[in-house]
């Protein structure tokens, strides 16, 4: 069985090359996806993203990837990274209200915390619902860089504490996974996470 990982290339995917390199280091085969046809020919999907929720959704629409991606995610194992996890939600509130991919019952709101935002640097995750993506990574630290958070109550896989504020750092709903942190910047722990993803 082939195990080709499709990395969605839309205008806002600023971290795409470092993610590609990290997945390849973990032993994966990566194809950059720019069109619906390319999306049809991959086995798994990774949605990267750096920037704003509104821009991300506009870019997917502009690149004619929005509806094909929604359809493909129903059947293919999908991982959203940082903004890529946030847009799995129903709604985002960055620069106004924007519809997301509606894959999980969640909203994306500004982090209201008595500390510096964006939340940047290495932080630990507290696994509240174990899954195969996070297997063996329960005590690891990952690299975060974000000002917004996913507010969700049903699909939480891990939480992270920042200045006394707990936020959702990863989600899992059937074949969908999302991580608020950047595995591609998280050294060995990130490579192990990608190895787990490849093995799903």
Compute the distance between CA of residue 170 and CA of residue 96 in angstroms, rounded to an integer.
Answer: 24
Of 37, 67, 82, 105, the catalytic one is 82
Strand spans (E) along 40-164:
44-47, 77-81, 91-92, 98-99, 107-110, 119-124, 126-127, 141-146, 148-151, 156-162
Q: Which helix (H) or strand (E) covers residue 167, if one does?
A: strand 165-173
C-alpha 17/C-alpha 15 separation (Å) is 6
Q: Does 82 participate in catalysis according to the annotation?
A: yes
Q: Which of the 8 DSSP states describes residue 128?
A: S
> Active site includes 141?
no
Angle (nearest 5°) at CA 38 between 33 and 41? 120
Q: Of 94, 119, 140, 182, which one is the catalytic site residue?
A: 182
Active-site pick, 119, 149, 184, 188: 184
Q: Is 184 a catalytic residue?
A: yes
The set of catalytic residues is: 82, 182, 184
């Amino acid at each position: 069985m082939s195990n080709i990982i499709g990395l969605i290339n839309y205008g806002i995917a600023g971290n795409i090359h470092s993610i590609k390199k990290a997945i390849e280091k973990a032993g994966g085969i990566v194809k950059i996806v720019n069109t619906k046809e390319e999306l049809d020919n991959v086995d798994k999907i990774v949605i990267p993203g750096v920037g704003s929720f509104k821009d991300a959704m506009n870019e997917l629409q502009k690149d004619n990837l929005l509806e094909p991606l929604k359809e493909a995610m129903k059947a293919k194992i999908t991982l959203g990274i940082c903004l890529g996890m946030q847009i799995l939600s129903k709604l985002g509130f960055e620069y106004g209200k924007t519809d997301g991919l509606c894959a999980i019952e969640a909203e994306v709101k500004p982090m209201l915390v008595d500390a510096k935002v964006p939340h940047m640097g290495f932080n630990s995750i507290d696994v509240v619902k174990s899954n195969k993506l996070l297997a063996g990574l329960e005590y690891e630290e990952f690299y975060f860089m974000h000002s917004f958070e996913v507010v969700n109550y049903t699909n939480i896989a891990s939480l992270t504490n920042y200045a006394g504020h707990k936020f959702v750092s990863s989600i899992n709903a059937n074949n969908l996974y999302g991580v608020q942190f950047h595995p591609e910047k998280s050294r060995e722990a990130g490579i192990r996470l990608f190895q787990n993803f490849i093995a799903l």
